[in-house]
Each structure stands twice: as C-alpha cells, then as structure tokens.
Amino acid sequence: MIGDGDLQWPQIAPDGAVAVTLPLWPPARKAVRLRLRELPEGAVVALCDAAPGSRGRCRRFASSANVRLEREYLAVPTLHSAAFLVQDAPGPVSYFWHNLAAVPPGGNVLRPVLGGLLRLPVGPDFSRLLGWVVPGRIALGRVGSS
C-alpha cells in the first residue's frame, strides 16, 4: 500500500491492487512515482485523488509513472465518503445524472435551479464537464506500456 489506506473500493479493483493516494505536493508525488516504477509489469494500480483537478492530475501522474489507465471513476459526493462510484464515461454519467442524482433536501433557494439542472439532457460534453468538476476520482491502471 502506498499512501493512506482508508479507502474502500474492493468492488472495482482486483485483489492485490496497489492503492495510491496522490499527494498534492509535487516532491511527494515524485517519491510515489519512483516507488510505483519498482512494481512489476502488469501490476494493478488504483490512483486515488480527492482534490479539484483530479482528472488531469491522475492522467499526468499515470503517464509519468508508466501506468496505463484502463478505467476512471468519479466518487460522488467525495472520495472519502462516496455514496456512488460512477465510471467517468458518457453512458454511466448520463445514467447517474438522470436516475440517481438528486437535489439535497432542505429549504435551499437554489433548489428549483438544481432540480432544473437534473432534467437537462446529458451529452459527451456534459460528461467531460462533470468529470472535471467532481473532485473525487479513482483511476485504475496497470504498470507497463501499452
């Protein structure tokens, strides 16, 4: 295990996967990258990132660490208290948006606006936007070149 081991994601990663919580501090990411390069070819890696900008950061890190990403998941509402793991692809995001997402209860003045947003059609551009906005992400890949 590299990074903190407080995430529960056995449903999406096989036994023996190495969980990596990406540090925000670049020197710390470099140390993690060096440790990942010591893993054998084909080892499964789960990159976990809870901060905004996680899509780009995970992809850049994977590329620099010789990890070939196979699937990415959005952790909604957050990585550490995910109620849903949604594959970051247009079909699953659309299904989630139209069938599972809901406006939080309460007397929020934005409630009608948020309810209207949930009824909007979802296309590939929206999927990319949502994947960019949701900070929590688990990206699964394997060590080695394609």
* Predicted confidence (pLDDT) per residue in 121-136, tens digit: 766 777 777 777 788 8
Instruction: pLDDT band for 15, please (50, 70, 90 cuts).
Output: confident
Between CA 124 and CA 1 the distance in angstroms is 34
Q: What is the pLDDT of residues 16-28, one digit of tens each?
A: 889 899 998 889 9
Tell whether the model's pLDDT for residue 4 goes beyond 60.
Answer: no
Residues in CB range of 35: below 8 A, 6 or more apart: 2
Task: Provide Rg for the chain, Cα atoms.
Answer: 16
Bigger pLDDT: 82 vs 33: 33
Share of the chain above pLDDT 90, in %: 35
**Is there a contact between 40 and 16 (Cβ–Cβ < 8 Å)?**
no
Sign of CA dihedral 125, 127, 133, 139: negative
- When the pLDDT of each residue in the chain is averaged and rounded to a whole number, the result is 82
